[in-house]
Amino acid sequence: MEKQYNTIIARATPLGKGSIGVIRISGNKVINVIKHTLKLEYIKPRYAYYLPFFYKNKIIDKGIALWFPKPNSFTGEDILELQCHGNGILMDLLINDIIVHINDIRIAYPGEFSKRAFLNKKIDLTQAEAITDIISANSKQAIFSAMNLMNGKFSFLLKDFKNIIIDLRVKIESFLEFNHEINFSIFCKKILIKLKKLLKFLINIIKYVKNGIRIKEGIKIVLIGPPNTGKSSLMNLITNKDVSIVTDIPGTTRDILHENFYVNSVPIEIIDTAGIRNTTNKIEILGIKKTFQEIKSANYIFLVVDDQISEKTLSLIIREYLTNFINKIPIIVIRNKIDITNSNPEIIYKNYYVIIKLSVKYKKGISILKDFIKKNIINTNNNEDQFTARMRYMDSLNSIYKILIKGQKNFLKIFSLELIAEDLRLIQKDLDLITGEFTSKDLLNNIFSQFCVGK
């Protein structure tokens, strides 16, 4: 690793002019910066001082100086923050003067302040990632959820889960080494009960993480279906915008149309696609190919059909176009044009999909669809403990889930304590990947390189 404890310096505020600009310095040369730039031997920790800032022994500006001595600082190192006027030239002059006159100070890499906080065990990896979530949050719910992640809501869940695993491992290892007097069958039954509780706990964590991903990344809904079933009209109605061109001509929508909107502060991306049908038109064929590319990354599929088709025809459409997505991506069938069939708006739950009957033309049943989105897609149970999340968390949790399910099945067959102990060790290793207790250098560099320079 490059000299970790070399002092780093960077702007902590965005480029451009503003009323205030913040320069952040972290490392063991902070005292030297105080002496050089402020012309003082010492300033009281965690007190705001209004002082002149010097450049080549001349006062270049006046501003606020704050000193946070280690280890009680964000990075765990000495930190100095200089708050001057937000002029880019002024800030560059101060930074360059400090670098030129004090040895072993360099410009910080993107995310390096947060990386040092992580390496010095001030925060774990999920809390470090929360910083970028707060900066990039695009809704009220995303801001509060990111703050929950930063405050350790997810970390505490994982810690509790990990403590159960450690306790199980200790009990199993102790039994294998020392406890020959305890009945083997009774001990195995107790372990099985604990494994079931562990699985239940894991499922709850996965639920939190899935909701967190939705809050951070938004929800992607893809509208598909045969031509002229009302996909474009439905998109316009849901978003309250004239996004899609609506005509009676089959194949009007040939390209992919994206639109973003919010429901209960959760961002939703809805995508109108080309009508799926057998065609020889090359442009339509390209549009249909794009449709299936969009489906692969969708959170939900809205299959829009004419209410005049039979259940048998609907089953054929699903079998022909969506077989690969059943049980992978939730499918909601929108039976449109109930004004023609004289049907009533309603919601019907089937084995593999949900049917919502409505009329886009007369806006009948739209409230049912919107309520369904709020209750089943957005999940409006405003949980104060909800946090933002990433797909890398899900990758590790899915791995843990598979190990736990397989381990339980094997344990029920052969009651091998050695095998279940190994499974628990692998689960603990996957958990440590999430928090960064066991993480490759490449992963760390990839994560922190996405941060702002001053972070």
Helix, strand, coil % over all residues of the chain, rounded to 5: 50, 20, 35
According to the model, what pLDDT value does residue 10 have?
A: 95
Question: 3-state class of 121 per DSSP?
Answer: coil
User: Which one of 3-12, 61-70, 256-265, 290-299 scores highest in mean pLDDT?
Assistant: 61-70
Dihedral sign of CA atoms 337, 339, 345, 348 in order = negative
Q: Average pLDDT over the chain, rounded to whole?
A: 87
Mean pLDDT of 223-239: 90
Question: 3-state class of 349 per DSSP?
Answer: strand
> If pLDDT is split at 50, 70 and 90, which confidence band does 1 have?
very low
Non-local (6+) Cβ contacts of 345 within 8 A are 338, 357, 358, 359, 364, 365, 368
Residue 131 CB: number of other CB atoms within 10 A?
Answer: 22
> If pLDDT is split at 50, 70 and 90, which confidence band does 441 have?
low
Percent of the chain whose pLDDT exceeds 70: 89
Mean pLDDT of 439-449: 66
According to the model, what pLDDT value does residue 142 have?
A: 84
Mean pLDDT of 180-184: 76
List the Cα angle 314/316/319 in 5-degree steps. 110
> If pLDDT is split at 50, 70 and 90, which confidence band does 274 have?
confident
Residue 178 pLDDT > 80, yes or no? no
Least confident range of 48-57, 215-224, 309-318, 345-354 = 215-224
Question: 3-state class of 266 per DSSP?
Answer: strand
Burial of 397 (0-12, 13-18, 19+ CB in 10 A): buried
According to the model, what pLDDT value does residue 454 have?
A: 66
The two beta strands, 79-86 and 18-26, are antiparallel
User: What pLDDT, in 10s, does the model give residues 349-406?
Assistant: 998 899 999 999 999 999 999 999 888 887 644 567 788 888 899 999 999 999 999 9
Least confident range of 171-175, 289-293, 449-453 = 449-453
Tell me the one-letter amino acid at 130: A
Question: 3-state class of 64 per DSSP?
Answer: strand
Residue 253 pLDDT > 70, yes or no? no
According to the model, what pLDDT value does residue 396 have?
A: 94
Specify the length of the chain in residues.
455
> If pLDDT is split at 50, 70 and 90, which confidence band does 297 have?
confident
Residue 188 pLDDT > 50, yes or no? yes
pTM over 0.85: no
According to the model, what pLDDT value does residue 380 have?
A: 46
Mean pLDDT of 331-346: 95
> If pLDDT is split at 50, 70 and 90, which confidence band does 3 have?
very low
Domains of the chain as residue ranges with CATH: 7-124 (3.30.1360.120), 131-215+390-436 (1.20.120.430), 223-378 (3.40.50.300)
User: What pLDDT, in 10s, does the model give residues 302-334?
Assistant: 999 999 999 999 999 998 888 888 888 999 999
Tokens of 314: 């609907």
According to the model, what pLDDT value does residue 214 have?
A: 80
Mean pLDDT of 204-211: 90
